[in-house]
Structure 1
């Protein structure tokens, strides 16, 4: 099959490309670095020529709700319109478990708009909601870390390995459209503060963690808000397995703080 991956240079997109190519599929990489801009639509028509399915693994950084909805909306609308012109037969969207239960998060508002456009769009579709990834704890730490101290909310998660996410996306893209897919999660619940401690230790980056709701992720995400449904598909890789894989833990390099 000829399959396009939007967000092909990102954490999940690059892994999805690798899985598809290992299975001998013809993969089209969609990203700005490959001369294709989802925000403007430049290059999309050429990229999607002859494409059977599209995997959308993109993400958009936004400071507020309005910006997030606009960014996700513009990129998704351009992608769907180009798919219709090219006759693409399957659109696979990477989404997030719990976005319908958390109203105050700007990123989640953008993802809800993305889901709405896909479900109402012209291309047969599958939306696959995943729980947070195993590397999420390190990302949260980076948002708030200052002088070796980081605020981390005491969230309950059932995280999934990025490699497992890519495998499910690749499998879904090569099959028939399913509509809304079951939630997909890792095998075990985890505490985000403990995940952050263990991940930073594995990366040789000790950080003093302060469990608090004074962080970018608020108390509306507490309890079971981020946990998968009862009929969830469970991926195989445990958090311990992921921690033990040195490929997943590059040497720590300081970066500028990011926002969710």
Structure 2
């Protein structure tokens, strides 16, 4: 049994898809839906009428009740909210702190999103950072729970000035690509070790982070990314992808082994950017 926290607005159009996603998750995990309001820091107890409104839209028989304090939920509790990160502003920052305190992901559900086809994969941004490893564990659990394949992606940001590169820059570029390939191989091995029977695939793709994930997420059921050192970088993807975005939160000790989303574009530098 596992509970899930749902943070609502006063706008049914924004809340609708998030309510559906959270209630289906709670139903699969035999848990309760804990309802909060998004108009306070980090979130406040809703009115009885608001809880009843949510209850009328969820799976029949699913327990729903007003939450008290996200910081006091105890067990790891995913935090779900509808809307896009740029429009949510400070709310995302507050909820990210609460979710990190609970060692749980923050899930942003785009308004108007619909249930994904049965064969749509859970998409994971490959990373060996601490939050990346938390994202891997969550992605594997979601893929198993929803009986979906897991597709792992590492975005390799090749520069657009490749034809004017020096020999040293070319060598550095090849080293950067090799490091990203090693990150992908490591995450794939970990995923298969966690669940040997889970259908797992992976690919190393070149291009811009947001451009690539926007394209890949168009056919995914869920995109899971690590927050890295700054969750706002990952949260910015929510305004660009069509599927729900799960941001795994964990305190990073200095610069992680790899970026939580992809590699750095500056190929002459041997340290990856912490995102």
TM-score under structure 2 normalisation? 0.29
TM-score under structure 1 normalisation? 0.30
Which is higher, the Rg of structure 1 or of structure 2? Answer: 2
